[in-house]
Amino acid sequence: MDRPTTGPHRRRFQLGRATIGAVIAALLTAFFTVTPAHAADGQITGLAGKCVDVAAANSANGTPVQLYDCNGTNAQRWSNPGDGTLRALGKCLDVASGGTADGTPVQLWDCNGSAAQQWALPAARDIVNPQANKCLDVTGNNSANGTRLQIWTCSGGANQKWSSPGAGGGTGGNPSGFVVSEAQFNQMFPGRNGFYTYNGLTQALSSYPAFANSGSDTVKRQEAAAFLANVSHETGGLVYVVEQNTANYPHYCDWGQPYGCPAGQAAYYGRGPIQLSWNFNYKAAGDALGIDLLNNPWLVQNDSAVAWRTGLWYWNTSTGAGSMTSHNAMVNQAGFGQTIRTINGSLECDGRNPSQVQSRVDAYQRFTSILGVSPGGNLYC
C-alpha cells in the first residue's frame, strides 16, 4: 500500500510487507498527562461491595485510606475532576512518599500535582498509578473493615477491581466494552482528523471480536495500545485519511490480477488507518469483510467504520514480513517489536531504520501509560 506521508517522505505498504517513511515525529513524541475523564462525585466500591474510605473522616495529611462498609458519608465521596486526581474531603488520594514498591500504602494528602497523586482509570476497572505502574489494591485480599489500601503489581484480582467515578461498572463507564474509553482515545489523538471517530472504531470491533479481547486485562490493553500506536505512526497521529502525493495514485493497479482494476487505474491509493493500497489488497480486505472494496474503494475514505475495519483486517490476518500476525504477537506475548516486524520489518527491523522503530515504540509506551498498563518486554525488532 504505497503512500507518501508528508513532504518528500514516502512509505510502501503491500500485502505481506510494509514500507514506512517518516511521519510527523512531533505528533508522536509529545507526552500527554494521564488524566481520566471528568465524572460526577461518588463512592468507589470494590472487594465485597465495600467502599474506599478515609479513616475516621479525618482530613489531616497522612490519614490512611481503607476499605469500609459503604455508609454514604463524605469520607467515602470521591471526585474525579479530570486532572488525573481522585479527591475526598478536599484532598487527594496519594501514594505515601511517592513510593513505587509493592505494598506502598495510600493516604490522603494536600493536592500538589505530583505523580504520586495521578491515577488512570482504564476500562478494565483497575485504578492505576502510572508512576509506579501499579494498581490500587486491598492489602491481603482482606475485606474486613479498616483494611488498608496500597499499590501492588496489577494482577487482575478482585481486590484490584473498582467501580469508581470515571470508571463505572464492568466496562469502566464505556458502553462499547472496548478497553480504551473515548476519553482515553481522545487523549491519545488530540489533533486527529475528525474522520477517525471513536464510534467508527468501536463499530469495527465486531469484525474481529478477538481483537483486544483475548487473554488477561493486561494483554487486552497492551494489544489495543500496540494497534493504535502503529496506526498512529502510519497516519501522523490519525491526521491523514488518504495518501498525500496524488502523483502516486496510478501506480497501485496490478493488471496482472485476473480481476484487474474495475474502479480505475488510479483508484487504489492509500486510505485509512493502515493506508490500504493496491487493487489486490482492496480485493482481499473486501472479501474478508464482506464489502466490495474492489469496485468501491472510496468506502475506505468515506466510512469511518469501514476504514477501521481495514486496519483491523491487516492486524488480525496478515503476517507481513514477520512470522505471526500482530494480534498473535501481542496475545502470545512475543512483544510489540514483533508487530513492527509484521507491519514493516523488511525496511525497519534489524537496524534498517531505527528512528522509525523508535517512533512506534514511543507511541506504544505513551499509550500503555494512558491505559495504565506495563508495555511488557521485547519492544524492538
Mean pLDDT computed over 225-247: 96
* Residue where the block lists cell 486510505: 271
Beta strands per DSSP E along the chain: 3-4, 10-14, 17-19, 39-42, 51-54, 65-68, 78-80, 87-88, 91-95, 106-109, 128-129, 134-138, 149-152
For the chain, give the mean pLDDT.
84
Measured in Å, how far apart are the chain's first and last C-alpha atoms?
A: 21
Q: How confident is the model at residue 82 (pLDDT cuts 50, 70, 90)?
A: low
Q: Identify the residue with better confidence: 11 or 90.
A: 90
In the predicted model, what is the mean pLDDT of residues 4-11? 29
| pLDDT surpasses 80 at 164 | no
- At residue 43, the pLDDT reads 83
Is 189 a residue whose pLDDT tops 60?
Answer: yes
Give the pLDDT of residue 162: 85
Name the more confident of 108 and 170.
108
Active site residues: 234
Return the CATH number of the domain spanning residue range 3-32+190-371: 1.10.530.10
- Asked if domains 3-32+190-371 and 39-160 share a fold, the reply is no
Q: Which residue has the higher pLDDT, 129 or 271?
A: 271
Once rounded to an integer, what is the mean pLDDT over residues 41-67? 89
For the chain, domain boundaries: 3-32+190-371, 39-160
**Kindly report the CA angle at 92 between 91 and 94, in degrees rounded to 5?**
135
pLDDT of residue 72: 79
- Would you call 91 helix, strand, or coil by DSSP? strand
pTM of the model: 0.58
Q: Which three cell numbers stand for residue 136?
A: 490500587
The CA distance from 34 to 32, in Å, is 6
Query: Residue 171: is it exposed, middle or buried by C-beta count within 10 angstroms (0-12/13-18/19+)?
Result: middle
Class of domain 39-160: mainly beta
DSSP for 233-289 reads HHHTTTT-SB-S-GGGGGGG--TTSTT--TT-TT----BTTTTB-SHHHHHHHHHHH
pLDDT reported for residue 176: 57
Q: How confident is the model at residue 163 (pLDDT cuts 50, 70, 90)?
A: confident
